[in-house]
Chains A and B, each alone.
Chain A
Amino acid sequence: MAEVFTNATQVLQGFKGVKKVSVEEYFTSGHRTCQGCESALVMRLMIKAAGPRTIVLGATGCMYVANTTYYTTPWVVPWMHTQLGSSGSAALGTAAGLKALMKKGRMKAEPINVIAFCGDGGGADMGLGAISATLTHKEYNCLILLYDNESYANTDIQASGSTPYGANTTFSPPGSVKRIMHNRWKKNTAGMLAAGHPECRYVATVDASYAVDMMNKVRKALSIGGPTFIHSFDPCPKGWDFDPMLSHELGELAVETGIFPLYEVEDGVVRHYGKTRAIAEGRPRKPVREYLLKQGRFAHFTEEDLDYFQAKVDEMWEKWEIPGVIPFWKEKRPAVPMP
């Protein structure tokens, strides 16, 4: 069968350049996130892209606790808290409720965007099962956006499954005997969700340093029909220990070094975009040390650690079946004892 099923109810055209972006703000003053917090910017761009006919569900994390305080909420659109591991269920339940009421004529039938967001702890760890389930329920239109600040930030910066190798977090402090407490490689969340849910029509990675691209991916995810997933990469000055003025630059460096690839998977077709496309086509990547050494969380890295990190990123581009996306290797590797 060569067709895909769709239940799209609207078309949100992409913004053609930054000057065409709407000036309306739906995420305004009142939040109390750190200076230079990219996740707060992601919230603002996300809802700007979606517009006012949207319901937002937010899982516990910085974007709840620091962001949405009683009497000072920055949200202009309807907003509701959901539990840490519940972004998938929140999106699904809200979409199902709207659908039932519209079907039975008890609510005006119209496209209402449903977006549930979660952090990396809430989405890539605790709520992964619920997100996975939601991505299989193709009759409900909703978007799950995972904002990845690479730690359980709100609870004081603890290592998550999305924390990069070796990073200093409060659960993985470098010590005199163990320099590297966090020795797990970061989960490949977007790639895994795209590969694992053949009927999910849209999965994308975004980075708010490329704001128009980011907003247009949100608009596509909300138009295409069915449940969709977006993974955003969010420099976090507090958790990563860098000067807040560097947030934008670090977002760019993560892409330019090849550490965080930008791609979308639409109906199973993978497309690298932005600077990642050039990398996938063989253009040189910046060395990872340019990115890592700007952050206090890697300050304890030795040359050996930097080399290890670089080698792992090289593999993503040189050895993976689909570079930067799917970590299936083209060849078998020898097994050696753990260091």
Chain B
Amino acid sequence: MAVETKTIAAAPGDTEMLISGSEACAEALALADIDVVTAYPIRPYDTVMQAIAKKIANGKLVAEYIVAEGEHSQFEIVKHASTVGARVFCGSSGVGWMYAMECLTVTPPLRVPMVAMVGNRALDDPGAFGVEHNDALVVRDLGWMLIWVDTAQEMLDTALLAYRIAEDRRVFLPIAISADGAFLTHSQALVQVPTKAKVDRFLPKYDRGDLQLHPDNPITVAPQANEDWVIEIRRQNNEAMTRAYTVIEEAYADFRKVFGRGPDNPWFEEYMTADAEVILMGMGTISLPLKVGIRNMRAQGKKVGLIRPRWFRPFPTEKMVAALSRASAIGVIDRDYSFGSPFGSGVVANEVRAALYNADKRPPLLSFIGGLGGREVTLEDVYKTADMCFAAATAGKSDLKTHWLGVRE
């Protein structure tokens, strides 16, 4: 089921490579000349660490490569390396990401611009290798910027963008790039790898400035603050996240100038939405069955389109509302769950509902949960979803149930 995707013309000097999403990330990391990286095994993200290890072993990257004894240490080590001025990379999947939770918590308030890759994976128990987005989503309130990508090319480009955005002094917050386990981490595609010269033009060196921990700059970082100051510090975090909106727009504009590719709209991909009556939404590689299904439905005259959110934090509220308000009904497919949440919906559906609350035009919104644990989202699922949305569009209202796709009842 081939999807019509625009082929990216190779720019002069670029190399075309057949590589997986994880390998594409490693290409970006070598181009970004990272300084310290920490590894710990868990599938499926660990393929990126294997790819980096090969690069270092073969002299394609000079960096401290530390095999940690657990994810807690894995994230703490790079956090500290970043505070002395090193560009760092880390990552994990599923319960590994949860094991690092304390360290994930402290990284944003320390204003550490770490870039991490999450190879999204179902949480235990029971054990499952396949994708679910609950791992990365767990940090959504803590000051991490979160982005989902759906191709190896987008992974490479986003990794370069991520350093540029995170290390911008106006932001100084960590970024987690989510890649669906197996579907993206392990699937190969043709990727245009840019030259180092172009990357150097796009990506300045990390400069920690007066926050650098060094004997020449004897500062105290994170002293005990208590109620005297904590709310101001939280507010500063919030302002950094707010400033990220501008920084992200700027970075993508520059990216397009330097590399001659990249989306005009950094925040989400729109596919056949111009005249769409029904807009389906889903993050990550679920875009593949959705796009195929949409094309098939279009052939039958059904006006369906797709919005695939990239940035989940910061959330592009106004832009998203403007894009969704055009539709007569919206169907959100969450590859995650939030037990006991309003309407028992997934995280994305409820975020979109919240964003739409004050909108002048609020199309009916249907909430779906599907593809958990890496379960295939089939074309039948897509058609069923769209049909329910069309029915809601006609009725002018949606039910408030959350529909689980393809579940054995």
Contact = CB atoms under 8 A, between A and B. Distances in A.
B76 A83 contact: yes
Contacts of A73: 220, 223
Contacts of A11: none
B73 A89 contact: yes
A206 B218 CA distance: 27
Q: State the main secondary structure of chain B at its contact with A.
A: mixed
Contact of A77 (B64, B83, B218): B218
B110 to A, nearest CB: 8
Interface in B52-89: 62-64, 66, 68-70, 72-73, 76-86, 88
Interface stretch (B10-18, B120-128, B224-232, B335-343): B224-232
A192 interface: no
Interface residues of B, number: 44
A129 B64 CA distance: 20
A86 B79 CA distance: 11
A100 interface: yes
Contacts of B102: 83
Interface in B205-241: 205, 213-215, 217-226, 228-229
A80 B219 CA distance: 8
A97 B86 contact: yes
Contacts of A83: 72, 76, 102-103, 106
A130 B80 contact: no
Nearest to B103: A83
Given A68-B224, A97-B36, A99-B64, A130 B84 contact: no
A92 to B, nearest CB: 5
Interface string A65-76: 100111101011
Contacts of A100: 35-36, 63-64, 81, 86
A80 B221 contact: yes
Residue of A53, A55, A100, A132 with most chain B CB atoms under a 10 A cut-off: A100
Contact of A93 (B72, B77, B205, B215): B77
A96 B68 CA distance: 13
A78 interface: yes
Given A86-B72, A89-B76, A100-B35, A94 B221 contact: no
B96 to A, nearest CB: 15
A94 B72 contact: no
B83 A80 contact: yes
A149 B72 CA distance: 25
A170 to B, nearest CB: 21
B81 A94 contact: yes
Counting chain A residues whose Cβ lies within 8 A of the other chain, the interface size class is 35 or more
B80 A98 contact: no
A88 interface: yes
A106 B69 contact: no
Contacts of B214: 55, 78, 107, 112
Interface in B307-328: none
A90 interface: yes
A276 B33 CA distance: 51
Contacts of A107: 84-85, 214
Contacts of B213: 55, 78, 80, 94
A64 B224 contact: yes
A328 B288 CA distance: 62
B205 A94 contact: no
A106 B85 contact: yes
A293 interface: no
Given A78-B214, A81-B223, A93-B81, 13 more contacts: A68-B223, A70-B224, A71-B223, A90-B80, A92-B80, A96-B77, A97-B36, A97-B85, A97-B88, A101-B85, A104-B35, A107-B214, A112-B214
21 contacts: A57-B80, A65-B224, A70-B228, A79-B221, A80-B80, A80-B83, A80-B220, A80-B222, A86-B76, A90-B80, A92-B66, A92-B77, A93-B76, A93-B80, A96-B66, A97-B86, A101-B35, A103-B62, A106-B205, A112-B215, A129-B70
